[in-house]
């Protein structure tokens, strides 16, 4: 229900009404309004009680119509302002934005530059909530169960530092996970007193099977295991973990445990998010964290934490929220703000709001192209690359061929050359790839929806010639 108008809003109304009202009369009206005692206080977190709704303030440009009878991938590619002299196969690292996201950032930046405080007051809360709603619609999660953050790294840090892991309890993770997971868990263990245990799930990623992965995890769940911390798509090898099968393995174990003793299933999802045509309920984990500035091609410096209601009951926020409706009220009233929510887990503070607010358009863009189409396109390009590399005697493919165990990352080694050496030689041929920052470094090429078959074939031709 709309709140009763405040003095501020009436002032705006009068100012814009064109009514012939003298300055003295105006002062009297405003003074009378300001004297009212039942007015709600202006919220110090820039929550204007008369704030406009997201629908009123957003007005993004209408999506361009898609070609009838199938996706026009030339149109999709044309949404980017990339340097087309380069073959960019690095979607897994850092996004450039499609036009609709660039325009939204520009629009908000201009508004903030014109009047930072008033633009922020009227828009911040509805636009952050609109971003959460868009993320939720994309991933099958209620907006209330979504926190916004700055990156996968910050989301993982917030999540793991908020776990209640105590002496005698452990977090189970694997040797295949990324630095961000391991370091966050190490810091949590230092502060909380629990332990982290890393296990290996396979010897050769390209030969791994779902049964082997699930079997090794099942054999390692102990009575003291409270959290399972995994990564959806490994950024070293491109192996996609069978998240649903792992969740199904955990279900009977958890059914026999007390609520606070269940194994909380947490996933660094950044390299599946924006690629795979699925949702959090379909995956079945308790938490999935992802930066929006990789495969989602969203604003740089943005990320999301998706949680289930049970998941939120197991963590405590670290950074004070400005977004939770009662954040300041609880502080001023000196009461407990209550259970952890997505809003309470969203770090407060002033930030690059033009980027935070433009998360909505990133999801809008994926909706326009279509999740199924994006998954199919990414898979087709990655499979084409994998098939060609698997046939080259001087190349060892590290990513499984099976689309059930792979997504958009294609990882490989070239005999006699370091991963960095291969990346350098590819760059000389204007191909942008990367080397995995792990103890064992593989080369990674990551085709995405903005690439063409010709891009992939050009990289294949180059790799046929790059030899040690
Ligand atoms: C598995 C994984 N998680 C997290 C990150 C870091 O992502 P962000 O830049 O969103 O913090 C990376 C880096 O690419 C990664 O490979």
Q: Give the domain range for residue 388.
A: 371-465
* 154 and 267 inside one domain: yes
* Distance from residue 153's CA to the centre of ligand 1 (Å): 6
* 195 and 343 inside one domain: yes
**To 10 degrees, the CA torsion angle through 409, 413, 417, 421?**
10
Residue 167's CATH number: 3.40.640.10
Residue 424's CATH number: 3.90.1150.10
Phi then psi for residue 397, to 5 deg, are -75, 130
Closest-CA residue, ligand 1 atom 14, reads 93
Select from 353, 369, 385 the last residue of a domain.
369
Domain annotation covers residue 282: yes
pLDDT score, position 453: 98
Q: How far apart are CA 444 and CA 433, in angstroms?
A: 6
pLDDT score, position 47: 52
Ligand 1 atom nearest to 151, measured from its CA: 10
Select from 369, 401, 424 the last residue of a domain.
369
Select from 328, 351, 369 the last residue of a domain.
369
Ligand 1 atom nearest to 294, measured from its CA: 10
Domain annotation covers residue 135: yes
Q: Which residues contact 105 (CB under 8 A, 6 or more apart)?
A: 97, 299, 354, 355, 358
Q: How far is CA 159 from CA 225, 279, 300, 318, 338, in A?
A: 17, 20, 20, 9, 18
Domain annotation covers residue 337: yes
pLDDT score, position 452: 98
* 383 and 258 inside one domain: no
Phi then psi for residue 108, to 5 deg, are -70, -35
Ligand 1 atom nearest to 293, measured from its CA: 10
Q: How far is CA 287 from CA 28, 29, 165, 231, 423, in A?
A: 55, 52, 16, 11, 34
Report the 10 Å Cβ neighbour count for 80: 18
Q: What is the pLDDT along the chain (468 residues), one digit of tens a residue?
A: 333 333 333 333 333 333 333 344 334 433 433 444 444 444 545 454 445 455 555 444 444 545 556 789 999 999 999 999 999 999 999 999 999 999 999 999 999 999 999 999 999 999 999 999 999 999 999 999 999 999 999 999 999 999 999 999 999 999 999 999 999 999 999 999 999 999 999 999 999 999 999 999 999 999 999 999 999 999 999 999 999 999 999 999 999 999 999 999 999 999 999 999 999 999 999 999 999 999 999 999 999 999 999 999 999 999 999 999 999 999 999 999 999 999 999 999 999 999 999 999 999 999 999 999 999 999 999 999 999 999 999 999 999 999 999 999 999 999 999 999 999 999 999 999 999 999 999 999 999 999 999 999 999 999 999 999
Question: Do residues 167 and 157 make contact, with C-beta atoms less than 8 angstroms apart?
Answer: no
Give the three-state DSSP class for 70: coil
Closest-CA residue, ligand 1 atom 15, reads 235
* Bridge partners for 69 per DSSP: none
The domain tally of the chain equals 2
Ligand 1 atom nearest to 271, measured from its CA: 1
Ligand 1 atom nearest to 436, measured from its CA: 16
Query: Tell me, what DSSP letter sits at residue 39?
Result: S
Ligand 1: residue of 235, 269, 437 to mutate (most ligand atoms within 8 A of CB) is 235
Domain annotation covers residue 102: no
pLDDT tens for each residue of 13-71: 333 333 333 344 334 433 433 444 444 444 545 454 445 455 555 444 444 545 556 78
Q: How far is CA 399 from CA 23, 195, 437, in A?
A: 73, 30, 16
Q: Give the up-direction half-sphere exposure of residue 251: CA atoms within 13 A in the CB hemisphere.
A: 10
**Pairing state between β 87-88 and 170-174:** unpaired
* 168 and 132 inside one domain: yes
Domain annotation covers residue 389: yes
Q: What DSSP element (H or E) covers 365?
A: helix 359-369
* 130 and 174 inside one domain: yes
* Bridge partners for 149 per DSSP: 303
Query: Tell me, what DSSP letter sits at residue 175?
Result: T
* 346 and 256 inside one domain: yes
Closest-CA residue, ligand 1 atom 13, reads 93
Ligand 1: residue of 180, 229, 267 to mutate (most ligand atoms within 8 A of CB) is 180
* 254 and 212 inside one domain: yes
* 153 and 276 inside one domain: yes
Measured CA angle at 414 (ends 411, 417), to 5 deg: 125
Domain annotation covers residue 387: yes
pLDDT score, position 71: 86
Q: Which residues, judged by CB distance below 6 Å to any ligand atom, belong to the binding site of ligand 1?
A: 151-153, 178, 180, 231, 235, 268, 270-271, 291, 303
* Distance from residue 270's CA to the centre of ligand 1 (Å): 7
* 396 and 323 inside one domain: no
Question: Do residues 238 and 407 make contact, with C-beta atoms less than 8 angstroms apart?
Answer: yes
What predicted TM-score, i.e. pTM, was given to this entire model? 0.89
Q: How far is CA 5 from CA 38, 40, 49, 83, in A?
A: 12, 10, 8, 50
Q: How far is CA 247 from CA 164, 169, 184, 217, in A?
A: 21, 20, 22, 11
Domain annotation covers residue 73: no
Q: Where are the beta strands (DSSP E) in 14-136?
A: 87-88
* Distance from residue 380's CA to the centre of ligand 1 (Å): 24
* 358 and 378 inside one domain: no
* 386 and 357 inside one domain: no
Closest-CA residue, ligand 1 atom 16, reads 235
* 327 and 400 inside one domain: no
Q: How far is CA 248 from CA 109, 252, 253, 282, 309, in A?
A: 45, 8, 9, 11, 18
pLDDT score, position 32: 39
Domain annotation covers residue 3: no
pLDDT tens for each residue of 166-219: 999 999 999 999 999 999 999 999 999 999 999 999 999 999 999 999 999 999
Q: Give the up-direction half-sphere exposure of residue 78: CA atoms within 13 A in the CB hemisphere.
A: 7
> N- to C-terminal Cα distance for the chain?
69
Q: What DSSP element (H or E) covers 305?
A: strand 303-307
């Amino acid at each position: 229900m709309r709140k009763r108008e405040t003095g501020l809003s009436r002032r705006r109304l009068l100012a814009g009404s064109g009514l012939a009202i003298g300055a003295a009369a105006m002062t009297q009206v405003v003074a009378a309004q300001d004297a009212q005692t039942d007015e709600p206080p202006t919220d110090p977190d820039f929550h204007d009680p008369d704030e406009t709704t997201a629908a009123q303030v957003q007005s993004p440009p209408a999506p361009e119509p898609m070609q009838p009878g199938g996706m026009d991938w030339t149109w999709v590619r044309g949404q980017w302002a990339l340097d087309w002299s380069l073959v960019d196969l690095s979607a897994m690292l850092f996004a450039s934005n499609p036009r609709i996201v660039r325009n939204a950032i520009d629009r908000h930046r201009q508004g903030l530059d014109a009047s930072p405080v008033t633009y922020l007051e009227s828009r911040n809360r509805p636009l952050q909530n609109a971003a959460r709603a868009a993320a939720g619609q994309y991933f099958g999660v209620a907006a209330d169960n979504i926190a916004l953050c700055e990156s996968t790294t910050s989301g993982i840090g917030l999540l793991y530092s908020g776990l209640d892991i105590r002496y005698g309890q452990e977090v189970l993770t694997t040797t295949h996970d990324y630095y961000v997971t391991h370091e966050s868990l190490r810091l949590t263990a230092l502060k909380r007193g629990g332990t982290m245990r890393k296990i290996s799930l396979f010897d050769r990623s390209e030969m791994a099977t779902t049964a082997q992965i699930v079997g090794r995890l099942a054999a390692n769940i102990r009575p003291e295991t409270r959290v399972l911390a995994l990564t959806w798509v490994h950024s070293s090898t491109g192996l996609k973990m069978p998240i649903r099968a792992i969740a199904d393995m955990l279900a009977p174990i958890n059914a026999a445990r007390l609520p606070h003793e269940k194994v909380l299933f947490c996933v660094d999802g950044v390299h599946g998010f924006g690629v795979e045509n699925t949702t959090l309920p379909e995956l079945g984990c308790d938490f999935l964290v992802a930066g929006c500035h990789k495969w989602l091609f969203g604003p740089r410096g943005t990320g999301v934490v998706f949680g289930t209601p049970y998941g939120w009951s197991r963590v405590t926020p670290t950074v004070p929220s400005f977004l939770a409706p009662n954040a300041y009220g609880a502080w001023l009233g000196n009461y407990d703000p209550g259970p952890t929510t997505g809003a309470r887990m969203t770090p407060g503070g002033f930030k690059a709001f033009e980027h935070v607010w433009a998360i909505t358009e990133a999801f809008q863009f994926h909706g326009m192209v279509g999740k199924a189409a994006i998954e199919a396109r990414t898979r087709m390009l990655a499979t084409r690359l994998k098939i060609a590399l698997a046939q080259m005697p001087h190349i060892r493919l590290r990513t499984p061929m099976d689309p059930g165990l792979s997504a958009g990352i294609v990882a490989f080694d070239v005999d006699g050359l370091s991963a960095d050496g291969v990346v350098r030689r590819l760059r000389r041929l204007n191909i942008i790839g990367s080397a995995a920052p792990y103890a064992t470094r593989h080369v990674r090429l990551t085709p995405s929806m903005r690439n063409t078959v010709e891009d992939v074939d050009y990289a294949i031709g180059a790799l046929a010639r790059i030899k040690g």
